[in-house]
């Protein structure tokens, strides 16, 4: 039967996001313990990487088989960036070797994100993420793997402020973005047009 439950697992830590890799491993972010853990096909759970002092939020498999993880330093007001604040995407191998970090634009001074939350990557290798700008607002940041900002989507034809909560890509590399406040799903082409 399609959609039938195969297995049920109890994990004591709070999971913020998860992804299933091509090999069947389930990786998840544990912001409480500041770590990335893996649930293997053999049903064993193991911590594969500590992100301390950064809190991990979103995670997805990258097109090269690695992982993309959104990370933020803990702040009293997470949307008010301080000089010491960290807001980044880390591209890692499944053994957690760092391939690249995305934190600043090409000038190495302008921050890419306010609070990177959910993340995905399309078949063109574009990195797409929900960038929260307050508890209820945000934007969608699309950039190339070379950290070239392609576009920022702020929503269209809205009755309320744009409130993206997640993003996924389809097989045609389109972006589908859930918008909580407007109760919509935005469909964007790989070039950013809706």
Cross-strand bridge partners of residue 176: 168, 187
State the average pLDDT over residues 108-125. Answer: 93
CA pair distance 115, 94, nearest whole angstrom: 24
Output the DSSP codes for 159-186.
Answer: SS---EEEEEE-TT--EEEEETTTTEEE
Q: What is the pLDDT of residues 9-35, one digit of tens each?
A: 666 667 889 999 998 889 999 988 999
pLDDT digits (tens, 9 = 90+) for 31-54: 889 999 998 777 778 889 999 999
Whole-structure pTM value: 0.90
β-pair partners for 115: none
> Is 3 among the domain residues?
no
- Residue 57 placed within a domain: yes
pLDDT, mean over the chain: 89
User: Looking at the domain assignment, is residue 120 inside a domain?
Assistant: yes
Are the CB atoms for 33 and 46 separated by under 8 Å?
Answer: no
Q: Can you tell me the mean pLDDT for 122-147?
A: 92
132: confidence class by pLDDT, cuts 50, 70, 90: very high
Residue 179 neighbours by CB distance under 10 Å: 20
Instruction: Specify if 5 maps to a domain.
Output: no
User: Is residue 150 domain-resident?
Assistant: yes
Q: What is the CATH number of the domain that holds 148?
A: 2.120.10.30
The band of 1, judged by pLDDT with boundaries at 50, 70 and 90, is very low
Tell me if 11 is assigned to some domain.
Answer: no
Give phi and psi for 30, each to the nearest 5.
-120, 95
If one counts the domains in the chain, the total is 1
Report the pLDDT value the prediction gives residue 44, as an integer from 0 to 100: 78
Domain span holding position 84: 17-188
Quick one: which of 155, 159, 163, 162 has its CA closest to 188? Answer: 155
> Is 175 within the bounds of a domain?
yes
Tell me, what's the pLDDT at 7?
A: 61
Residue 134 lies in a domain: yes
């Amino acid at each position: 039967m399609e959609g039938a439950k195969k297995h049920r697992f109890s994990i004591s830590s709070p999971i913020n996001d998860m992804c299933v890799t091509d090999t069947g491993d389930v990786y998840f972010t544990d912001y409480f313990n500041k770590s990335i853990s893996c649930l293997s096909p053999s049903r064993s759970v193991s911590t594969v990487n500590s992100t301390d002092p950064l809190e991990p939020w979103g995670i997805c498999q990258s097109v090269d088989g690695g992982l993309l993880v959104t990370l933020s330093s803990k702040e009293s007001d997470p949307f008010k960036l301080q000089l010491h604040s960290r807001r980044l995407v880390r591209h890692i191998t499944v053994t957690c070797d760092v391939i690249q970090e995305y934190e600043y634009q090409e000038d190495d001074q302008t921050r890419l994100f306010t609070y990177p939350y959910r993340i995905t990557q399309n078949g063109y290798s574009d990195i797409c993420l929900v960038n929260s700008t307050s508890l209820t607002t945000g934007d969608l940041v699309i950039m190339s793997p070379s950290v070239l900002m392609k576009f920022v989507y702020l929503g269209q034809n809205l009755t309320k402020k744009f409130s993206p909560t997640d993003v996924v890509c389809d097989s045609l590399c389109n972006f589908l973005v859930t918008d909580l406040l407007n109760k919509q799903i935005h469909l964007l082409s790989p070039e950013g047009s809706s």
